[in-house]
Chains A and B, each alone.
Chain A
Amino acid sequence: MRLLTHNMLTSKCVKGVMQGYPLGIQATKVQVMESDFNKDFVTRVIPKLDYSTLWNAAKTLGYSAELPETLVENYEGNEEFLRKVHHVLLEIEVVEGDLICPETGRKFPITSGIPNMLLNEDEVRY
């Protein structure tokens, strides 16, 4: 799971949960992989992000050092900043670990990089 995905995931599926955001991360295995930098994509994705969630997630994984704590202004032309965001969004992958619902503590396991957000049938909100 990359931090771009983490930035968009919630645990609203759990019965009784209101926001379910942001999900906590407990990682037991993290890998850094190379991904081609695409300026267009990063520039377009930034305004949709919850930036503080991204920064906190990067901090949890120990990769926030280079990333400013708040979104810089006029980032469109700031390639150095865009590359840092690209790195945090797409190059850091949680391979094994858990996502944690902030309201119930329910854990969602991440295995081989794929989060399992399925609930058991008795936890489902219908």
Chain B
Amino acid sequence: MTGTLKKYLMWFANEHLDFRLQPFWIAELSNEEDVKRLASRSVTLRYGIELWSHSDNPIHFHDTLRRLPSNVLEPYARPEVSFKVKVEVFGSSQTQEEKVQRIESFSYLGLRGPVKLNKPDVAFQYIEFYGLDDKNVPDQPYDYYFGRIVTEGQRDLISKLSLKKRIFIGNTSMDSQLSLIMANQGLVKNGSFVFDPFVGSGSLLVAAAQFGGYVLGADIDYLMLHGRSAPTRKQARHKPRHEESVMANMKQYGLSSQYVDLVIADFSLPLWSKTLKLDAIITDPPYGVREAMERLGTTKENKKISEKHLATHMPSKVQYTMTQLLHDLLVFAARHLRIDGRLVTWVPVIRSEYEETNLPKHECLRLLDNSEQILSTNASRRLLTYEKLKEPMVGY
């Protein structure tokens, strides 16, 4: 098959819509291994399907299937190969009876093996696509697809890393799907060095470590990093946290070898030497809504802390504005990412005031992706992915 591209249907989950183009996406790839490699990293992909027929016309669609080359069909039509046909009616509904009718309409394929619903040797997928507008569902589908399921995406990882079962979470922990998407946006792979400067309970580090990243985090919140902040889970509100930490989470998922360190630090101050060179910075900075935006400082002039208070003094903090924080973040990324390394971050947005030209910019960074997650009628956050193009002129 060398040199020829085959068509594969990539079927994505119908959520986080701004993060993907269409639920059904046809990819031309040279072989099945490439489909599997893609699927091994995608958490939004449901299935990768070897596309046997696709048309907007049902007659053409069935004609193509009837005239399928025998070398494509025959290996799966043999009597010893158990099979099942799955039916998806996307954007409309079907009764069980209609579903059976649809499956039987493919009887001309001449599949001779036994039907087996649980773990068949081969699974076929039939899809009717009625569009994305649920208020204007057409009488007939826009598209018909049929193919052989080659592989599944990593939807299982979402539940494996679910916050519901995680030992240590905070009030603003990122859900596992978005965390995994962020690690993918950061191109985290085996041996990548990944940093989150607003690490909190470390949910982004879990996802980055899952894909082989070595993870480092920093946060200004002493109590959070020591697992001593007020409990997050409602049923545990009456008792203090016990043995909860980012490390405990890493152990829970068997990722403790990927954990480098946590540091309590104020991001607005210089801390790292030029020896810190990162493959990715993946972060969710505080928006000032559920987590305060703070840096060290005081509004009092010439403040001095007396000797007797020094040992137990908790430093005071002042407001750290979003504009300043994002500016600092991009400058930090320009300094500490390797060339081609990526910064993946959320920014909060007031939807009516949003303009792409107002997004943070840096001459050494290029904005690659910008996807919106709507939070309320007027508020959303955008996941931004930047790539480092060159070293900044003024270093350390």
Which residues in A have some Cβ–Cβ distance to B below 8 Å? 1-2, 4-5, 7-10, 12-13, 21, 34-36, 38, 40-41, 44-45, 48-50, 90, 111-122, 124-126
Contact = CB atoms under 8 A, between A and B. Distances in A.
A36 B257 contact: yes
B273 interface: yes
Contacts of A44: 191, 193
B214 interface: yes
A117 B263 contact: yes
B266 A48 contact: no
Given A40-B191, A45-B193, 10 more contacts: A5-B216, A5-B261, A13-B270, A44-B191, A90-B260, A113-B247, A114-B263, A115-B261, A118-B266, A120-B310
7 contacts: A12-B269, A41-B190, A113-B261, A117-B266, A118-B315, A119-B269, A121-B297
B207 interface: no
A116 B222 contact: yes
Interface stretch (B84-92, B103-111, B298-306, B364-372): B298-306
A1 B259 CA distance: 11
Contacts of A45: 193
A27 to B, nearest CB: 15
B275 A7 contact: yes
A119 B271 CA distance: 11
Contact of A122 (B265, B273, B305, B317): B305
B349 interface: no
A20 B357 CA distance: 38
Nearest to B217: A114
A114 B264 contact: yes
Nearest to B269: A13
Interface in B349-386: none
B381 to A, nearest CB: 27
Interface in B290-341: 296-298, 303-305, 310, 313, 315-317
Given A36-B257, A118-B296, A121-B316, A5 B263 contact: yes
B41 interface: no
- Top 4 nearest A-B pairs by Cβ distance? A40-B191, A13-B269, A41-B191, A36-B257
A125 to B, nearest CB: 7
Contacts of B317: 121
A23 to B, nearest CB: 10
B261 A10 contact: no
A122 B298 CA distance: 8
A50 B264 contact: no
A4 B245 CA distance: 20
Contacts of B263: 1, 5, 9, 114-115, 117
Contacts of B270: 10, 12-13
B147 to A, nearest CB: 36
Contact of A118 (B260, B264, B273, B304): B264
Given A4-B260, A10-B270, A116-B222, A124 B265 contact: no
Contacts of A40: 190-191
A115 B296 CA distance: 17
Contact of B261 (A4, A21, A36): A4
A117 B262 CA distance: 11
B132 interface: no
